[in-house]
Every structure is written in C-alpha cells, then in structure tokens.
Amino acid sequence: MAEVIAIDGGYKLNGTVRISGAKNATVALIPAAVLSEGPVEILGVPEISDVAALATLLKELKCDVEIDGERIKIDPTHMEDIALVSDAVNKLRASYYFMGALLGKYKRVKIKMPGGCYLGPRPIDLHLKGFEALGANITYENDTYLLEAKELIGTSIYLDFASVGATINIMLAAVKAKGKTVIENAAKEPEIIDVANLLTKMGAKIRGVGTDTITIDGVEHLNGTFHEIIPDRIEAGTFLIIAAAAGEKVIVQNIIPQHLEALISKLKEMGIQMDVVGDSIVVYGREGDLKPVNIKTQIYPGFATDLQQPLTTLLTQASGDSHVKETIYIERFKHCPQLNKMGAHIDLKEAESIIHGATQLHGTRVEATDLRCGAALVVAGLIAQGRTEITNVYHIDRGYDNIDHKLITLGAHITRYHIDE
C-alpha cells in the first residue's frame, strides 16, 4: 500500500500560515547535542520524519530522548560509543553529522554510508578530508566508515567547495580538538550560524561564522543548554511561491526576510505584489500576466537550489521563456518530466531547464521523486485543473511539517489516502 496526496486544483488560498523551524538546521542541531555532557533542550523542532529517524539513532546510542510537539530534549549522560550500522542510518543523509559529533566526543566512530534523496553526486570527500586533517585515520569497508584518532589536533582546513555539510561536520569534530582549527572557504548559510550558536551556548569557542573563515578554539567540556531553532527559509520560500501561484491574500509568518532576498527579488521581478511586515510577508494574488525570469542557483546568499524546483512550477504560468541553471546539484530536474505530464512545456539540457509559458496544468497522477520535487508538484496541484495525485509522499514528509494541514487551513482541497501499488 502506498500513500497518496490528492489535490483538487483551482481553489484560491487566503489566510495565515506559520513557518516551522529549519529542517536543515534541525538535522545538524540534534547530532550536535551529543557533544554535551548534560541535557540539551531544543525548541521549534519541525514535525518531520527526519527528526523521528534522528531520534531513533540517538536511542541506539543510549541517549534519553523526549519529543513533545516542537520540543526535543536530548540527554547524552548515559550515552555509549556504539556503531551506527542500522537501516535507520541509510534512510537519512543527515546522519553523517554523527560522524563529526562522535569523532569529536569519542575520537572514533563507525557508521554506515548515509542515504537521502538522490540528486546526483553528493560526495562526502570534503568531510573526510577535514577529519583527516584533524588527525583521523579513515577506513571504508562494506559500505561502512571507521574513523579513529589518538587525538584530534586543530589545524587549517581549506574547503575546495563551500559545502554546508562539510562546514558543519568539521565544526562538530573541531570544537573538542586540541588547539585552533581554521576552516577557510567555509559555507555561510544561516543554518550553520544556528548550529554554531547552539555549540557556543554549550561552551564552544567559535568565531567568524557567516564569513568565509571560521576559527574554533578547542575546549575540553561542553555543557547542556537551551536553544530555539531559526525558521525554515526553504519552507518559507515554498509557501511564498504557493501564495504567489494560488493565493488571493496570504500572510506567511515566522520568516527572517533577509534569508530569502534572492527569492523575493525574483518574485517581484515576475510581477508578484508583496509586503514585508516584521517577521511576516503578505503576498497578494497575481493580477495580469506574470513575467518570465532567469534563475541561476548559487550557494547562500544566492538563489537556493532547494527553491528552484517549486519556483519552476510558478514559471510555467509566466508568459514567455524562463531559464533555470543549476550549479549545486546538476541532476535536480526530476520534477520537470512530472510537470510535463501535467501539461507544462519544459525542455531539459545539461544542468539547465527552459520553461515555455504560460501553460494550463491538468491534474493527473505524478511521482514525488525527491523532497523538493514533491514541493513543486504540490504547487502544481493547487493551480491545475482537476485532481492531482502525488505518490511517494514520504519524500515530502521528510522536509515539510504538516503541509496538508497548513494548506487546508488556507483553503486548499487536499486529502490523503492509500492505494495499491
């Protein structure tokens, strides 16, 4: 039995939606908590399946875990150095953050190769290069990594690519290393700043987060603390796109607008009317033709790769040709054949799509091949004629907290049911 989200299109959305805590921060903050010697309480945790998967891994490590709505309490007091080789690791790419955290805590970690959405090559070479520079010896056998170090010694590490995952993972390993670690060409995403803020509250000494160069002075002890997660800029961006596509007047609350400047400027360029009011953005229904725009994904603060897929759906409604160039994950175009099944006219080249608009979309059965493809299909379902059935919805549930309920509250017609595969 497979679960399906069905959307009856054409209903205008109105009202207020509140954005949850950042998925991409949460999946790093939870492994970071194991570095503590006391309980860590994190507020604003999104209710997504990735959090449940991380909680399973924490319990395998003998941590006490309590989840109560948007709050998670992690107590690593009785934690043990146990190999992470269960199937739960394979299902979750972000489980690789346990590499840095456990290496930092125990100077050794045994972990299966982490999984996640397939978006083309996403090697963890930069992570491993960083761990080796800190003094770890790495072996790989039967899909399992073994990282061991007599001790971790601070050093200077240059990242060939400003990778979010590698920046965070090296930071997790370095906070308890001896001496000073300098990460050069570090990524600058807000989620990295959020993880550094948690570690700093725990007693870590980190400077320069949000710039190209992060400096970490190792400490011996990290303590329990309390932390509230930043809002999810990708969920926020997705709802801004949904409001632009299908809304009359939609207020998106709990946003940090400067995290979304690249998207906001593109939506305005298309002709979408919106007002920024504190930590909310009001989006007004589209009137007249939307203008086509060109998008090139870039590392932060450029246009987010995670938002090009949902935005592609909106671009099918613009009069003229729009181009999307992908520089982060070159295979991130699996949503395009699905949108074409619904009546879109999208041509694919290598790492690029050309969207010929405007086209009327029609409901049919489509497949969420990955998380943000699922988001693109939700946007499509809301503006399509008739009923859209989206399969493989577990991808959507990995990254969006209660998306059905939030959309229903705005006036969307959405149901979930099971079908025989």
Binding-site members are 23-24, 93, 122-126, 306, 328
* Region of residue 220 (phi > 0: left; psi between -120 and 50: alpha; otherwise: beta): alpha
Question: CB atoms < 10 A from the CB of 18, how many?
Answer: 15
Which positions are catalytic?
A: 117
Cβ neighbours for 298, distance < 8 A, ≥ 6 positions apart? 262, 327, 328
What is the distance between the alpha carbons of residues 244 and 2, in angstroms, rounded to a whole number? 31
Binding-site members for phosphoenolpyruvate are 23-24
Cβ neighbours for 402, distance < 8 A, ≥ 6 positions apart? 20, 47
Binding-site members for UDP-N-acetyl-alpha-D-glucosamine are 93, 122-126, 306, 328
* Closest alpha carbon to 382 in 403, 357, 355: 403
Q: What is the pTM of this model?
A: 0.91
CB 247 within 8 A of CB 285: yes
Q: Which domains does the chain have, with CATH numbers?
A: 2-20+231-419 (3.65.10.10), 23-228 (3.65.10.10)
What is the distance between the alpha carbons of residues 410 and 325, in angstroms, rounded to a whole number? 32
288: helix, strand or coil:
coil
Residue showing tokens 């909310």: 280
pLDDT (tens place) for every residue of the chain, 421 residues total? 789 999 999 999 999 999 999 999 999 999 999 999 999 999 999 998 889 989 999 999 999 999 999 999 999 999 999 999 888 787 777 789 999 999 999 999 999 876 544 545 456 889 999 999 999 999 988 888 999 999 999 999 999 989 999 999 999 999 999 999 999 999 999 999 999 999 999 999 999 999 999 999 999 999 999 999 999 999 999 999 999 999 999 999 999 999 999 999 999 999 999 999 999 999 998 888 999 999 999 999 999 999 999 999 999 999 999 999 999 888 899 999 999 999 999 999 999 999 999 999 999 999 999 999 999 999 999 999 999 999 999 999 888 999 999 999 999 999 999 987 6
The pair of structure tokens assigned to 32 is 């970071």
Q: What residue ranges in 167-242 does DSSP mark as E strands? A: 180-184, 205-207, 213-217, 225-228
